[in-house]
Structure 1
Amino acid sequence: MSVASAFTFFGTQFGLEILPGLFLVQAFAALIFYSLAFMLGELVRRSSLAYIFSSAVFFSSFIISAYMDLIYTLTGKTIYKTIQIYLPTSPANSLPIQYASPLLPQTVGIVLQFVGSGNAIVPTLDLSVAILLVYTIPAIAVAAAYFWFADISRKMS
């Protein structure tokens, strides 16, 4: 629907071949929070508490990241930038930008930087993927182990 409305209002759309890859990258970037919510859901066994906890982690990380960026800008100390890079929201926000930026025209990159969403926090694509995997794999492993060994329905059968 968005592509159809863009065609209607702006004419022929070019460069749409990046959309499937960008969709997969965005889904992978969001996997960190889905796996965290899944792990908390398994550990807590209360869906509303798991949602609240995972949302708290997301929003806390987002707020802390903004403060770390502000402190880094004011002081110039790299420890604050390093902390910001390794927060869970940083690679999740950086990965789609890092994937799409080389594939988009330069004018789009200028517009993205103007509105404030064109700068990746994490310096490289590989580091973004590595940080996402470091957070995601243990969360999935804990959830799977807890589900496998502590699930009541398995013990009843």
Structure 2
Amino acid sequence: MASVLPQSPPPPSSPVTPSLPCPQTPSKRSSRPRLLGIKTTLPPHLSLSSIRDTITTSFKLTYTPDDWQIHLIRRILQRYDFILCAGTGYGKSLIFESLAILGGKRGLVLVICPLKALEHDQASQAREKGINAVVLNEDTSRSAELWASARQND
């Protein structure tokens, strides 16, 4: 008994043409010139040395902030996002307190704390340094007075 093999498709009658080039799709963002990856240029009064001097005098520090803290503050002021995971005593509070001072009148710093006691400690330390701080959690009343106190420095 002879086996019957299926027929293979016939060869194409014309040579295969390569696909036509597609028109370039428009980009979603406007193409602004970038400065080697820097998102925002900062004024001279926010140079690394001036940031260090401002922080040291504003908070009356008896120590010099670490270079990584100053560089991180500058990058945040240039509108870069960041996540900082560091242990107790590494200087995280200095970073967000400095941003509250250097961010200007309309600046806002949001700090998320894992414990209510830590929230209240951070807020009271910030207030002692002249920073307007408000604690928001499920115990906070939803009254207009809270938002008025948050806006008092506007």
User: TM-score band, normalised by the shorter chain?
Assistant: under 0.3
Q: Find the structure with the greater CA-based Rg.
A: 2
**Larger proportion of helix:** 1
What is the TM-score when the length of structure 2 is the normalising length?
0.25
Q: Of the two structures, which has the highest relative contact order with CA contacts closer than 8 Å and spacing of 6 or more?
A: 1
What is the TM-score when the length of structure 1 is the normalising length?
0.25
